[in-house]
Amino acid sequence: MDATYSYYDYTKSIERIDNILNSSDSNYDKHKGIPSKNSLTYNNGFYVDVTVLFVDIRGSKELSKKHTRPVLAKIYRAYISEIITVMKGNMCINEIYIEGDGLWAVFNTATETEVDSVFGTAFNISSLIDILNVKLAKKKYSTLKIGIGVDDGESLYIKAGYKGSGIQEVVWIGKIVGQTAALCSYGNKTSTDCEIMVSETVYNNLTTHNKNLLTENYAHDCYHGNVINRHMNKWVQENR
């Protein structure tokens, strides 16, 4: 977000802190599905069930040692732009965030079928990275190795920022975001860890076919697999 200079007055900070902390706890209600951003104020929030997906690069520090900054810029632009495109290809998409070389998204999932569709997004991202790696290898650039995490659960949806400044963000609060980030960190962590990690909750919402693509990961108390989109993989095999 853009920001411009404004004079800081700590007494105004004290007033704003008091206004926030003294607001009613009853302003936070359960809501089926993610409500419109227009329904959010600086004093309310909603508990909603969502599915969260995280993607992160493994060994990103090594990339910066091997390539010039212009090359790194091209690699990251290709990686980020196309993962965003895959995420936006899911009809349940609600929010996408970029944090360094990691991306995460929140999906508005009210049914088992919708949760299952996010798993589909996860393995489409896996295949996208395979395609990108074919292109990177032909340029003699380093290929990418990623981890992907998917979890489903309740999160508190609020608006946060500086009232009246135009600087504001939608924020998701609760264990679900941290749990998904942890699952992502396990993806491709060791030689026995697969690329995609999903929670038991997500696993229980998958179709029988998709469940059979995963196995239990006892070390991390989740399910994992190296799953691909076969149509995208056909391109990979033909263009290596």
Taking only the tens place, the pLDDT of each residue in 25-58 is: 778 888 888 988 888 888 888 999 999 999 999 9
Higher pLDDT, 192 or 17: 192
Cβ neighbours, 10 Å, residue 134 = 16
Q: How confident is the model at residue 165 (pLDDT cuts 50, 70, 90)?
A: low
Class of domain 34-239: alpha beta
Q: Pull the structure tokens for residue 115.
A: 């949760």
pTM of the model: 0.91
Helices (H), the chain: 10-21, 60-66, 69-88, 112-138, 175-186, 200-205, 208-211, 230-239
Domains of the chain, residue spans: 34-239
The pLDDT of 212-236, averaged and rounded, is 97
Buried b (16+ CB within 10 A) or exposed e, 147-181: bbbbbbbebebbbeeeeeeeebebbbebebbebbb
Q: Tell which wins on pLDDT, 60 or 240.
A: 240
Q: What is the model's pLDDT at position 236? A: 96
Is residue 75 pLDDT above 80, yes or no? yes
pLDDT digits (tens, 9 = 90+) for 173-218: 989 999 999 999 999 999 999 999 999 999 999 999 999 999 999 9
Q: Is the Cβ–Cβ distance between 82 and 190 less than 8 Å?
A: no
The pLDDT of 148-163, averaged and rounded, is 89
d(CA 176, CA 159): 18
| Spatial separation of the C-alpha atoms in residues 205 and 119, rounded to whole Å | 10
Distance separating alpha carbons of residues 222 and 198, to the nearest angstrom:
6
Counting residues of the chain whose pLDDT is more than 90, the rounded percentage is: 69
Q: Per residue in 99-153, pLDDT tens?
A: 988 999 999 999 999 999 999 999 999 999 999 999 999 999 999 999 999 999 9
Taking residue 215's Cβ as centre, other Cβ atoms within 10 Å add up to 11
Q: Report the pLDDT value the prediction gives residue 199, as an integer from 0 to 100.
A: 98
